[in-house]
Structures are given as C-alpha cells and as structure tokens.
Structure 1
C-alpha cells in the first residue's frame, strides 16, 4: 500500500521547532514511556478497530520514528476483515501494517493508540492482555488506563497531539510523511478545526506540520471529497428513513443497503456528519449494521448533552459531543435503550 498524496517540491520551508508540552501528562510519565521503549528491540503498535484518521495516523507517525531510531516495528488493528478504510489509503507508512494473525502473541512492549478499552482493540485485545508492558496513548475521557502505563489527556483534541510529543521525546523530528499522518489525525478529530476542541495549541501544531510542505488540500480531498457512486444511493435511503423526535434526529443503515451497491462498511462512517446538521436537533444518531449483523451506533451532540456518558452506559464511550457504542439488539430495541439513557441524563426533550 502506497501513498497517493503527491509529494511537494523541496522549497526550504521554515524550520519546524519542536514545542515540548506535557499536555496534562506528568513529566515522569513521559520519561517512563521512553524508558520502556529504550528497553526493547521490537515495539508492537495497535489502534482501535475500524480505525479513523486519528488512530491510524498517530500509530503510523510514531512507527516511522521508532524505525528511525533502530526499533523493529509491527503495527495492526484488530478487525476480522483487515483492510485500511479507503479514505485512509493515502497515508504513508502502511508497509508497517500486518494482519492480526501475524501480530506478536505476547509482545514485550505494546503501544495502543486512540483506544479507550481493551475491547476496542478487537482481535488484538488478547495480545494486549499477554503483553509484558502496554503503553496506552489516548485522549478519550472514558479511558481509565487499561494498560500498564498511560499517556492519557482527555483535554487533547486528538491522539495525534500526544503522538507528536512522544516523537519529540524519542529524539525524532517531523518530515512530510510523518506530518501527513499527524495532520490527518488532527483534522479528523477537530472536524477540520471546526469543533470546540480546537485550541491555540491545535493551531500551533498544525503550523509545525505545515512547515514540512505537506499538501493539505490533497489530504482534505482524500478524507472528505471523494466517495463511490453507491454511497449516494445508500445515503439517499438513510435520509429517506430519517426521523425527528423532538430534539433527537436519527436513522439507520442496514447492511442490505450496502450490499446492493457493494459498499464496504467503512464508507458509511461519515453519515453522522450529515444527519447532525439538522437545525431542530440537539442530538443525532446513526445506526450502521456491520458485516457481522451488529449495529455500530454513532452519536453527536451540539453541547447540551454529554453523549459520552450516555454511550458509556450502553457499553461504549467517546467524547462529550461525539461518542458511540455497539448494539446486538434490533434497531427498535437499541433506540429504546438510547432514549431511556437520555432520559436518565435529564434530556426529556429528546424522547
């Protein structure tokens, strides 16, 4: 797998000066992470199932730097159908990836990215349980620190911010490939700098990444401005069945819809960003049936409701305004449970 993002001409960009920040993580925690990495010859990297730009981008960026300091690197994610989502196939560094079956059974050191629980590692959760050391790098508030060592900052806008700081502490620097991976993570989790998580630190990091000469417009095109024709047909069906209940808007995408157009599950991940635009709704929900018949539920809030807390009560998690969970019930039963949890959260207007 190779990068499809065009390489810029060398143009002597301004120097990228590392900005070392603790990001709410004690200095001693960073130092311990470096010690653990120094002690091993091979580092096993993993991110959550159905990886998004922040998960995969952060992992590959750190993988690049680990290789540059002489470490053997293996990276993966625990999906049964092991394939990089189409919109992320432009990311460089994918030669580091291996399917879960080829992943070390009991790594001496495993580093996880953007995964808030063991379960989110999918098929790689047993490997993490057997690992001698597990460094958890994440920014989800619901992450209680499931590894042996944690680099967790729920105030960071993206795991990519923590990955950048680890890179500097490893003695690494930014080049265009590393910056492409980190920038993808940053824009993915800030909604192209539109979400409330976008801070001055986010923009400072973006500035450092831009100094490497990466093509931001091509990254944006790959992430948001491309889709197969079948996506439009499936989206039309989802919008045709959308329902507005007070301040709750929701719809669902059964796998039969996708099958009719040969559309992979990963292609419908972004539908929540269309549904959530509804002016009348505070909360948006999209249920997407995966290839196993389970429902992956994405939720969004405009701020008044903590959907992370609601989803956590249903076995999931995430952020205040963006969270999700997996349901093994029917659409009707899943939505009934979601409405009940909303009621417990004091949001009767959504019922």
Structure 2
C-alpha cells in the first residue's frame, strides 16, 4: 500500500482521515520509546474525546517499560492479541518500515486507510497518506502539527505525551531543531511539569542498573581506525539483563557515546530467548575529526535491514557476539 507522501506540512487528506474515522488503531514500533508511545497516546486521547473507539498497541516486548507507564492515556494500550484485525483507520507512529511493527504488521491489510506519521528519513512511505518530515525533532512534533491543522486543542494530558517524545528524542534538547524550544514552551504552558517528566523518562533507574552497567562497560572496546573516525562498542549479554528492563539496557548507548576517541558508538544487545539474535544501537556525533558532518549511521544500519536517523539508528542481526561485531566493523570500513 503506497499513497501520497507530504513533507513539511500536514496534508488535508491526513486531517480528513482522522476527522471521518469511525474506529482507530494506533500502532507503535517494537521496543517502544517515549516518542512512539507518547504520539500514540496523544492521538488516542483525542479520538476518545471525540467518542471514537481507539486502541494502542505494540508487538513487543510483552511488558511496557516502567517509565512509559506514567504517560496519560495508558488505558488505551492493549496486548497484540486484542488489536482488531479490521479497522476504519490505522495510524502508524514513529515507524520507518513495516517490519518495525513486528507481528502487528499484518494489521495493515485489514485497515480501510493507513496514516503514517514519522520523522525518519528512510521511511518507506507505506500509508494511504504519509505525514513524514525528517526535519522534525520528534514524531510528537508532527502529531502536534496534525492536531493544530485538525483544530483539536491540546490539554495537559495530551501535552504530557507530546512533551515526552520531544524531550527524549532531542536528548533533553541537546539535539533540538528550530522550533523545538518554542514547542516545549507551548506544551509547558498547559501546566505540565517538564522537569519531573524528564526525570522519570531519562534520569531514573533501579539500583540493579548500576551492577549491570559495570559489567557491560567492562566489555567496552575502541577501534580507532573504523570509518576514519573510530568506533566504541559494548556487548550486553542476556545474562547481564535479568534484573533490569529494556530501557536500562537501551540507556547503555548514552554512556558509551560520550567517548572522546570515537565518532561512532554501538551497543550489541543479546536477546534473552534467542541468543544468536542481537539488536544493535548506533550513534554518531554531528561532527568528528576529519569528517565535518559526522557519519550517517542510518546508512550503516540499512546495510543490515535497519534504519533510523543520521545520528541515531539501529538494526537486528544474527550470529555470535564476535561475528556481529566483526560484521559491523567490516561495514564501517577503514
């Protein structure tokens, strides 16, 4: 299914699909973060306010990260098995490819219309209508534009969800885009506590995170010649993660990416149920010695069937730890 892709503005068709929908499903990508889940819940709150039946879901993991359970609208989230196979409007948020929907990708075929809302440059454009703008700092920014074009007001609960995606995808505004701070000011004006939202989402971990981090950081390795800018990587084995959740595992990338000697950071995360399956998080700096614009890690991830943004991307791969590390180093070249 392909349709009209519109960048930098909200197509009338997108507003029309939302305004006329009689039933709605909003799908997040697997391993949901605050941008995809916040976008989904913000939309769910609006549809519910309009009296439209709405469900929100994601294929995996089975349990939502603890920090995301604090977002308003969580009552609309259901297990994958409870997602209707047929629906008037299916909205996919913050998801650049069908395969990022996991087992719920099969719901695309049962929707009368599909609206894709995303800010990933490599988005496949698989909706009836696609609202895609890679210049947006977060998908929640695009949801805000859609609500404005639709004429739907943003109350404190909706603002909470939108701010969650904005603050996390900008790294507490370290990677803010033009307009990011203005949007934050607008959302904060609804009365939400931006400091507390940020603390819960980015600065809170259980004590078990500390010994896990100690173990994982002991695997950190620098490959100075990789891609001409250097690579630092760490390996998270399944045995290291039994006492922590996925958000604690994902946070490792934000620690090792601070390494001065490397322009690229990678974390290899072993699946608990299938030990030859790895999810890989990639980060790069917007500049590096000898490379003014940094490395486009989304292009690297695409070699393995993944994707993302220029400076933040990921993919899934298979093999032993040594094999998946070697494959990435080979893909980066010298």
Equivalence map 1:1-351=2 (5 Å) = 24-27=7-10, 30-79=11-60, 81-195=61-175, 198-246=176-224, 247-259=230-242, 262-293=243-274, 294-303=277-286, 304-343=294-333, 348=334
In structure 1, stretches of 5+ residues that fail to align are 1-22
Call closer, same or farther: CA 1:46–1:251 in 2, change over 3 Å: same
Aligned length: 315
TM-score, structure 1 length as denominator? 0.87
1:323-344 Cα shifts (integer Å, max 9, x gaps): 000112222111222122212x
In structure 2, stretches of 5+ residues that fail to align are 1-5, 225-229, 287-293
Shift of 1:228: 1.1
Call closer, same or farther: CA 1:100–1:218 in 2, change over 3 Å: same
Shift of 1:113: 0.4
Calculate the aligned-residue CA RMSD, in Å: 1.4
Runs of 4+ off more than 3 Å: 23-27
- 1:267, 1:129 → 2: CA distance? 34
Shift of 1:267: 2.2
1:192-249 Cα shifts (integer Å, max 9, x gaps): 1101xx1231111111101101111111210122111111111101111110110110
- 2:208, 2:235 → 1: CA distance? 16
Query: Does the 8 Å contact 1:250/1:285 carry over to 2?
Result: yes
TM-score, structure 2 length as denominator? 0.91
Query: Does the 8 Å contact 1:265/1:291 carry over to 2?
Result: no
Call closer, same or farther: CA 1:96–1:308 in 2, change over 3 Å: same
Partner of 2:291: none
- 1:220, 1:265 → 2: CA distance? 18
